[in-house]
A and B are shown apart, each in its own frame.
Chain A
Amino acid sequence: MSKLLEINNLSVTLPLPGGQLHAVRDVSITLNRGEALGIVGESGSGKSMSALALMRLLPQRALQTGKMLFDGTDLTGLSDAQYAQQFLGHRIAMIFQEPMTSLNPVYTIGRQLTEAAVQFGSYTPTAARARALALLDRVGIPDPKARMAQYPHQLSGGQRQRVMIAMALMLEPELLIADEPTTALDVTVQAQILDLLADLRREMGMAMILITHDLAVVAEQTDRVAVMYGGEMIEEGTAKSVMAAPAHPYTQALLTAIPRMDGPPRRLGAIPGTVPSLMTPPKGCVFAPRCGFVRPDCLEARPPQLGDADHQRRCVLSDADRPTSAPAAPIRTDHAEVSGGEAVIAARDITQVFTSRKGMFGPKHEIRAVDGVSLTLKRGETLALVGESGSGKSTLARIMLGLSLPTSGTVEMLGRPVADLAPLERAALVQPIFQDPYSSLNPRRTLAEIIARPLTLRGEDDPEACAAKTRDAMEMVRLPARMLHSYPSQISGGQRQRVAIARALVTRPQALVCDEPTSALDVSVQAQILNLLDELQTELGLSCLVITHDMAVVHQVADRVAVMLNGKLVEEGGCDSVLRNPSSDYTARLLAAAPQFRPDEMTAPPAQEATA
């Protein structure tokens, strides 16, 4: 195989008011023709920045050093105009994370598809149109002719991403860069798009760089994997060997942090601490402050590159030095179905109809967000409510929280209709945890004020008792009490989510309603929060309703599962029976679509293969 792309010692720094941000440091990538490389990393790892540097889409102020060769041509020597003319679109194309905003809202799909081909690709308008039609058909857009005349807002998110893919393929590039192409999409759509990309790559013999935070996606879709952390590439190799035999402590820890669907749920491996500041890069190993195997020489100098071309890492530990950790003990042997438990929250025949109109006089639209759903949360259990966007799961959660009254149907909390409960009584029974840790805390209040607020609202006046309860709550979520005087902007996303949990628990409610509690968080932080919720549930005997789209999270936390589609409940049952033998087609589809992470099942490293 011939080398297509070679990036050597790429560094990117961004000048910020507070100093230099070292977004990418000394990264080297090689990619062969037709090969698929996955770049994995949590937020702030520099994974997107590397690709944007190649595309020359970095902010103008950014400083970039290093060498880039594409098919033997030195890219660093080219001016922006030359590069745009010779490479962008023709040889390298890119698709982005946000399909909703990546197409220009005021021009038709057809115009956006064909313009670059006509402008730079020496296509005639007719030829460009024919190619666009063929590609739209190929990426699975029904009735391409009609679509060409439509505008982006008339298409769904998945369709827009398909259009983006067709657009990137117009000039048959040799390299396609996909930056989190499915993160904004629903699970079932995500699977379709990933399959489409894999098929197209094979058909066209394209090389691909897939940038994602999702290890399961990478494991399924790529030949090689590069793991980034804190702006550095800390491990790189064939997908099989990196996933089955990770060599860097970070990768190892990350892999144990992913909830897995095979076997019983186990306590997740969580990485202590937080992502390092990129403002002052360390002298030694970038992962050392959080590493379980740290040695004095880790802090002194940058670790050497160990391993061979098939699998290398930046770590001082040799294979022998590194103890292999045994899998954690299962947290439950099996999902025990709580039978006959008392109903904490019982929703009966809930229907929620939204009417919306365009402007003051527009026509009325009726949307049945929830349509005749009955659901009961029993004492001590964790009930997972699963569905994709628009399924009505969040609306139902709000209703079960008592925050809004349904169009019809009743909600009872401990046997009393929620309509009869005073807001404070209701608050004592059930508390929410939200998805976005950035919007769930009031930025103008200190953590102490935020956590103590529910107590104040209940009329607890004694400042000392309040302070004691606040400190207890902080301890419960494993945060140091010295942080109480901080503001939300001073702490990390995972810490914010802990504060939100502390606020929910400070009044000791019976039940929690968690709406996608970890989907805005990185994998390692998600592991911390899921572990915490599990511990708290055992400690306090909480009942939890967890709303999620992630089947692996369901498997990790749930005793029972309810599946929603278009406002209706399509399936409900014990976690194991639903996940193993789904009775509805939709649940089966969801399960099939969920990217599954099973490193053990990946064919073992090549060496063993040879002996077999």
Chain B
Amino acid sequence: MLKYILLRGLLAIAVAFTVSLAAFFLLNAATDPAQAIAGEDATQEVVETIRARYGLDQPLPVRYAQWLGGVLRGDFGESYYWHKPVAELVAERAGTTITLALSALFVTILIAIPLGAFAALNPNSWIDRVALGVAVSAQAVPNFWLGLIMIILFGVMMPIFPVSGDDTWRHFVLPAFVLGASSVPAVMRLTRTGLIEVMGADYIRTARSKGFRSGALLRRHALRNALLPVISVLAVQLGQKFGGSVITESIFAINGLGRLALESILGADIPTVQMLIFVFAIVFVAMNLVADILNAALDPRIRIG
């Protein structure tokens, strides 16, 4: 069990560094960062100065090695745009985004799991149709548009929740709903198909033949099996919420990592973008690791080989 976790952990770290490597080369090879920092109109001289100053005159592998060395020492470089350590920038804003991501996940769970479960237990009923309708619509709604519609509705027509800023919990209600809604289809569909599959399994037939019915059948025999895949998908979704915060934060003027990402892209601030990609990848693999461990804890087939 411990060995299993360690191996999964090593794999996760390998993935995170592969991602950083890919992002580094894509971001640096596709263009000339010095030119991007200097701006299109800058003279060749200015560009060269910038190149020398940020060490951009060195070959890519060397720069990646330098970056990697820095990361291992906890130094993520300095932002071209804000002129302060990237790590500091990220640390300042991480809390806000974590709050947003967790509340969004809460919204997803609150909507998707009960809806999926009821739909699975009553196939082809009205609730199944409603659930399917919700899934199909939520999948087709552009997330940023949903945000704007919420702002129009709540900002102007019924001002219950604030539509901009991140000062109180009330500020997080609408963004969490918008960000959470994007995960509802995937989680709901998986809950539904997973539970339908479990309810059709041979061991449920066995339990029914022993006299278990409805509630007890679900509680004692179906729930744990059906939840196993849902845990994994929730972890994936939570990981993706961080990346998805870019849109939500920019619409609702929340000062978190997503907005930092947008600003640093528009400011050609490659060290910051680089670090954010790395951080988001780490969050993603860490969430998956947590899901793997939870699954192992709940599923004896993994726990006891």
List chain A positions with a Cβ less than 8 A from chain B: 55, 57, 80-81, 84-85, 88-90, 93-94, 96, 98, 101-108, 115-116, 119-120, 151, 153-154, 164, 167, 358-362
Determine the main DSSP class of B at the interface with A. helix
Docked Cα-Cα span, A519 to B76, in Å, equals 65
Docked Cα-Cα span, A84 to B217, in Å, equals 12
CB neighbours of A104 from chain B (8 A): 203, 206-207, 221, 225
Cβ-closest chain A residue relative to B200: A59
**By the criterion CB–CB under 8 Å, are B298 and A106 in contact?**
yes
Cβ-closest chain B residue relative to A55: B209
Docked Cα-Cα span, A80 to B213, in Å, equals 9
A105 touching B301 in the complex, CB below 8 Å, given contacts A57-B205, A57-B208, A164-B206:
yes
Looking at the assembled complex, report how far the CB atom of B223 sits from the nearest CB atom of chain A, in whole angstroms. Answer: 10
Cβ-closest chain A residue relative to B7: A361
Identify which of B203, B225, B300 contacts A153 (C-beta below 8 A).
B300
**By the criterion CB–CB under 8 Å, are B206 and A102 in contact?**
yes
CB neighbours of B136 from chain A (8 A): none
Identify which of B11, B201, B202, B210 contacts A88 (C-beta below 8 A).
B210
Contact code string B277-305 (vs A, CB < 8 Å = 1, else 0): 00000000000000000000011110011
Looking at the assembled complex, report how far the CB atom of A168 sits from the nearest CB atom of chain B, in whole angstroms. Answer: 8
Looking at the assembled complex, report how far the CB atom of A77 sits from the nearest CB atom of chain B, in whole angstroms. Answer: 18
Docked Cα-Cα span, A153 to B11, in Å, equals 27
Docked Cα-Cα span, A146 to B193, in Å, equals 35
Residue B142 is within 8 A (CB to CB) of chain A in the complex: no
What are 8 A-B contacts defined by CB distance under 8 Å?
A57-B208, A80-B213, A84-B213, A88-B209, A88-B211, A106-B298, A106-B300, A106-B301
**By the criterion CB–CB under 8 Å, are B301 and A116 in contact?**
no
Identify which of A120, A151, A359, A362 contacts B301 (C-beta below 8 A).
A151
Given contacts A57-B208, A96-B205, A103-B206, 19 further A-B contacts (CB under 8 A): A55-B208, A84-B212, A89-B209, A90-B211, A96-B202, A96-B206, A101-B201, A101-B202, A102-B203, A103-B203, A104-B203, A104-B207, A104-B221, A105-B203, A106-B299, A106-B300, A108-B300, A167-B206, A167-B210
Residue B216 is within 8 A (CB to CB) of chain A in the complex: yes
CB neighbours of A85 from chain B (8 A): 211
Residue B84 is within 8 A (CB to CB) of chain A in the complex: no
**What interface size band does chain B fall in?**
20 to 34
**By the criterion CB–CB under 8 Å, are A94 and B209 in contact?**
yes
Docked Cα-Cα span, A604 to B209, in Å, equals 38
**By the criterion CB–CB under 8 Å, are A102 and B202 in contact?**
yes
**By the criterion CB–CB under 8 Å, are B210 and A89 in contact?**
yes
Residue B224 is within 8 A (CB to CB) of chain A in the complex: yes
Docked Cα-Cα span, A295 to B300, in Å, equals 61
**By the criterion CB–CB under 8 Å, are A119 and B304 in contact?**
no
CB neighbours of A359 from chain B (8 A): 7
Docked Cα-Cα span, A105 to B303, in Å, equals 12
Residue B73 is within 8 A (CB to CB) of chain A in the complex: no
